[in-house]
């Protein structure tokens, strides 16, 4: 079993943070807004849960702090940016595979949704 397999399943918050960071470095507030957009406002992370998750992900080595400022005209010096690590990518992939398997299993049992 790879180290990535030990860390799944992920909570929705952690998975979405990894997805967002997969597209580029972000600070906390940007992550939050993006996740809300991505989920049509269904997943709105509060600051406690967001930074709690970031803290945990930093501890696990899924993400790290980044010194780069990808969007200089929007940047605020006081904000901290995060970047996905290679372990983070592995874990996100493993989680996606897991979900795919799950989805296929559901499809085999219940049939595919019409508007899928």
Partner 1 sequence: MLKFYRILLHLYPTAFREEYAKAMEHEFRDELAEAQSGFPVVWLWMRLLLDFTTSLPVQLAIEIGRDSRHALRLWAKRPWQTGFAVIALGVAIGANTGVFSVVNALLLRSLPFRDPAGLAALIHFLPPHDSAAQFDSWRRHSNYLQDAALFEDGDLNIGEPQHMLRAHITMTSRNFFSLLGSVPVIGRTFASEDHAVAVISYGLWQELYAGSDKVLGKTIRVYGLQPRPDEPLRIIGVMPANFDYPASTVLWKSPEYTRGNNGWAAIGRLEPGIGWTKARAAFAADVHHLEPHRRFRADWIPMMMPLADELAGHVKNASLLLMGVAVLILLIACANLANLMLARTADRQHELSVRSALGASRARLIQQILTECLLLAIVSAGLGLIVAVWATSLASKVQPAPLPSQTYTILDVRVLAFMVGVAVLSAVLFGLLPALSVGRIHLFVARGSTELRSSRIVRDVLVAAQVTLTIVLLTASVSVIQAVSHELHIDRGFRADGVVTGSVALDGTVRDKPGLRLHYFEEVLDRLRRLPEVRNASSTEFLPLLSGKFMGGPYAFDGHPSAQGMAADVIPIMADYFATTGGHVLYGREFTDAEVRSNAKVLLVNETFARLWLRPADAVGHMVTGPDGTVRKIVGVVRNLDFMGQYISDVFDVDPPETFIPAQNPGGFDSTFVVKVEGRPEDQVAAIQAALQSVDSGVPVYGVETMQQRMDRAFARPKFYRTALAFFASFALLLALIGIYAVVSYAVTQRTHEMGVRLALGTTPTRLRTRLVRHGLATVVVGALGGIACAASTGKLLGGLIEGAKGFDVATYVLATIFICLVAAASIWVATRRIANMDVVEILRAE
Among 37, 38, 79, 112, binds partner 1 (CB under 8 A): 79
Tokens for 110? 């219940």
- Binding to partner 1 by residue 44, rule CB under 8 A? yes
- Binding to partner 1 by residue 47, rule CB under 8 A? yes
Q: Cα separations (Å) of 30 from 63, 105, 111?
A: 15, 35, 37
Tokens for 9? 């399943």
Task: Mark the segment that binds partner 1 (CB under 8 A) among 15-23, 27-35, 66-74, 85-93.
Answer: 27-35
- Binding to partner 1 by residue 43, rule CB under 8 A? no
Binding mask 55-74 toward partner 1 (x if CB under 8 A, else -) reads xx------------------
Q: Mapping DSSP to helix (H, G, I), strand (E, B) and coil, where does residue 8 land?
A: coil
Tokens for 113? 């949704």
Minimum gap (Å) between residue 49 Cβ and partner 1: 5
Handedness of CA 84, 88, 89, 93 (dihedral sign): negative
């Amino acid at each position: 079993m790879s180290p990535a397999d030990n860390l799944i399943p992920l909570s929705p918050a952690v998975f979405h943070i990894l997805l967002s960071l997969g597209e580029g470095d972000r600070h906390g507030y940007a992550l939050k807004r993006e996740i809300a957009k991505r989920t049509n406002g269904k997943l709105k992370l509060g600051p406690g849960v967001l930074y709690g998750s970031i803290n945990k992900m930093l501890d696990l080595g899924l993400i790290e702090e980044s010194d780069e400022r990808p969007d200089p005209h929007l940047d605020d010096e006081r904000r901290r940016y995060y970047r996905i690590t290679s372990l983070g990518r592995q874990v996100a992939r493993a989680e996606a595979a897991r979900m795919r398997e799950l989805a296929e299993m559901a499809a085999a049992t219940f049939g595919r949704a019409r508007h899928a």
